[in-house]
Structure 1
């Protein structure tokens, strides 16, 4: 992480990107509030007290130990949810006049800004300030961007992951490992951050860049501790080495190499819902093309490893397929080719492009949260 003076300078340079991010997310919240008012719904409840948000706040208030048995034999256990977000919710609600759910909203608001800062610094370092601002704007305006304003763990995870990857880029190995450990306490995809630290460190060492070998090894050792600690704790609690995988299996989740997802798309292509299947196929093709473009352009290794593992885990997981866009949201490096393209546009065209995307994201987010299924 930069020192105090460097941090202040980096923050000043990032101000335009942070303002753009705040503007895009504010538009999303306004559209959601208007839609909720028209539908006689509570926008606050949609953001803080539905689906995963309820599980996180329950853990914050009562600790782990809740299970829900469903028809068909599925058993939903709260052990599926990693602990850092509920820990923060519990801590904030203890010192502030906030419920656990509202504390989750506060964590997401602060973390999303922290994520935007790290994302800007990454884009700025690689392609200049305009590309950094564009990268933040595109991340804010993702179709699933409304999750950044919910009491979910995506914003917190993305902040920790983006800062860890940025620290790898700048050779701050101990910070990179420490942040990777915290990311590993936030979501199972923390494994992607560990992979970015480990593989980049291995390549740096192989190429003889071990002038800070001690700090690099410490960062490598720290990186997996959060992820491993939670897996070990769940294993001890359930009495099984594969305890966490068993818990995920109870939710119908797991990894099958993408077989279930491919079958899901194929069923829609072969039936009356073929437009949805075609849309899914195009979406998968787009994200794979974006990743391949990053590889072809020679993006730095930690970005390729991190973005690639996030994408791989999202596409090869079985379970509730409606959540796949949300699972890919932390993979901000995939947006770099689009950000450089936007940065090359004239300012008026760039602003118009981002504005249209932000409006589409706001409308889609409001529509999504008013649906029956979780994001």
Structure 2
């Protein structure tokens, strides 16, 4: 009634407040971030235990603190790049190019430099901060990618659990470019699945200067274009999308060749990048030329004869069998549930890896871009299976840190 005192708004009931709180907690991004944070706590504890037992090594004194332990191995190379850039003259041992900064791409140290400038942090905490932030972003985008290709919320969330506790997941909190590279790759795959080709140009370019990915992604794009062309009768492939997707394929290929070209221009040697990469495998098989698809066969012979003391042909036969079984697996019904575009990436990157990389301890890290396959491992809904998978992954994580990250004297098993 006019002139009567206004009534105070009613307080929300306890049930309404409870429902609102529950709704907030059940948001997908909250769950993903909670999984990521919990996994990082576990991995931090594991790394600290190893650091407390770490002896004197080329990077730190005995019992290093967390940040010192997190910046060993390639972290030093990225630090060198951030401080002094790349050499204009390739270092040699008198006849062959030796290990140098050209093997590492500039985006990650550039981003860390920017964070150092803004926050005034030193290299070690700034580099770890960038890796952790990018790892969290990668987990969020990976979840959206899995939901976009049709996997259930339960499956997508468990895939995130596997992603966060994977054997090489400590890379999400050390001074390596993998976190940033995986974040960019996840974004690129999501844009590809959604056919947002225009947005892929800048992402593909930055990705190619973060980790070696341009040529593999160009192959995946090529398979995508062929697939769309073949299915254009049932799935329209407009002229605009044809032009954009073909242009993007060519652009990605050129982006993949850009860093070796830049290394060649700066140093005056057009083989600067490949010679630098080959320096890392010289300790195993000596200095050899890069012949596509030869490294894995060279590796099979080396591991058989040198490490196992058995005839080299045994290793080659084992390699052929493993590759054949892997090819069959890629075309199995569970993998096909990921959709054609994620399958194209897995095929393309597998071919690229098989063509140019030499199998050794770093191979475990180089398998990380195959992370979409975690969606397949997450498909079974059995609680027993899921618990066992988490336990297995954590045990393998401890094994990876022990073998690859921890340093024992003159360590020949880099991460």
- Same fold flag (TM > 0.5): yes
Aligned counterpart in structure 1 of residue 392 of structure 2, from 351, 357, 373: 357
CA pair 220-270 structure 1, distance change in 2 beyond 3 A: closer
The structural deviation recorded for 1:171 is 1.5
Q: 1:45 to 1:141 in 2, by over 3 A?
A: same
**In structure 2, which of residues 20, 25, 34 is the aligned counterpart of residue 19 of structure 1?**
34
Q: Which deviations, in whole Å up to 9, do the C-alpha atoms of 1:83-136 show, x marking residues without a partner?
A: 111111222212222223332212211111111112111222321111111212
Q: Quick one: structure 1 residues 23 and 68, their matched pair in 2 at CA, closer, same or farther if it must change by over 3 Å?
A: farther
CA distance in 2, matches of 1:78, 1:181: 20
Q: Are 1:333 and 2:333 matched, yes or no?
A: no
In the alignment, the residues of structure 1 paired with residue 325 and residue 27 of structure 2 have an alpha-carbon distance, to the nearest angstrom, of 34
Deviates more, 1:62-71 or 1:187-196: 62-71
Distance 1:224 1:354 in 2: 37
Quick one: distance in 2 between partners of 1:259 and 1:193? 24
**Partners of 2:152 and 2:92 in 1: CA distance:** 52
Q: Secondary structure at the match of 2:398?
A: helix
Name the CA distance, whole Å, in 1 between partners of 2:158 and 2:326: 18
C-alpha deviation, 1:350, in angstroms: 5.8
Distance change >3 Å, CA 198–CA 315, structure 1 → 2: closer
Deviations 1:209-237 (A, max 9, x none): 33352554564455345433323211212
How far did 1:249 drift? 2.7
Give 2:406's aligned residue.
Answer: 370
Q: Which runs of 5 or more residues in structure 2 are unaligned?
A: 1-23, 55-61, 283-289
> Does 1:52 find its partner at 2:74?
yes
> For the residues of structure 2 that align with 1:74 and 1:51, how far apart are their CA atoms?
19
Q: In structure 2, how many angstroms separate the alpha carbons of the residues matched to 1:286 and 1:36?
A: 38
**Aligned match of 2:272:** 243
Deviates more, 1:36-45 or 1:92-101: 36-45
Deviation at 1:351, TM superposition (A): 5.6
How far does the alpha carbon of each residue in 1:65-85 deviate from its partner, in whole angstroms, 9 at most, with x for none? Answer: 185555994511211111111
Q: Structure 1's 156 and 285: CA in aligned 2 closer, same or farther, altered over 3 A?
A: farther
Q: Tell whether 2:213 aligns with 1:199.
A: no
Q: Aligned partners of 2:375 and 2:325: how far apart in 1?
A: 13
Question: How far apart, CA to CA, are the structure 2 residues paired with 1:294 and 1:101?
Answer: 44
Query: C-alpha displacement at 1:158, in angstroms?
Result: 0.9
SS in structure 2 at match of 1:266:
helix
**Deviation, structure 1 residue 262:** 1.4
Distance 1:30 1:222 in 2: 43
For the residue of structure 1 that corresponds to 2:256, the secondary structure is helix
CA contact (8 A) 2:97 2:276 kept: no
**How far 1:33 sits from its partner (Å)?**
0.8
**What is the match of residue 302 of structure 1?**
341
Root-mean-square deviation (CA, aligned residues, Å) is 3.3
State the distance in 1 between where 2:176 and 2:358 align.
Answer: 18
How far apart in 1 are the matches of 2:226 and 2:364?
A: 31
Instruction: Map 1:60-71 onto structure 2 (within 5 A).
Output: 60-65=82-87, 69=92
Q: Return the alpha-carbon distance in structure 2 between the equivalents of residues 24 and 225 of structure 1.
A: 37
CA contact (8 A) 2:221 2:249 kept: yes
RCO comparison, higher one (Cα < 8 Å, 6+): 1
8 Å CA contact 1:93–1:100 kept in 2: the answer is yes
Q: Distance in 2 between matches of 1:47 and 1:248?
A: 23
8 A contact 2:191–2:197 mirrored in 1: yes
Answer yes or no: is the 8 Å Cα contact 2:79–2:109 preserved in 1.
Answer: yes
Aligned residue for 1:76, secondary structure, equals coil
* C-alpha distance 340-296 of structure 1, shift in aligned 2 (>3 A): closer
Matches for 1:127-146 after TM superposition, within 5 Å = 127-146=151-170
Q: CA deviation at 1:165?
A: 0.8
Length, aligned pairs only: 358
Of 355-364 and 53-62, more deviation after overlay is shown by 355-364
Secondary structure of the 1:187 match is coil
1-structure distance, mates of 2:224, 2:75: 34
User: SS at the partner of 1:340?
Assistant: coil
Conservation of the 8 A alpha-carbon contact between 2:67 and 2:125: no
Q: Deviations over 1:41-63 (max 9, x none)?
A: 22322211x12111111101111
The CA distance in 2 between the partners of 1:205 and 1:315, in whole Å, is: 27
Alignment of 1:311 onto 2:333: no
Higher helix share: 1
**2:131 pairs with 1:108:** yes
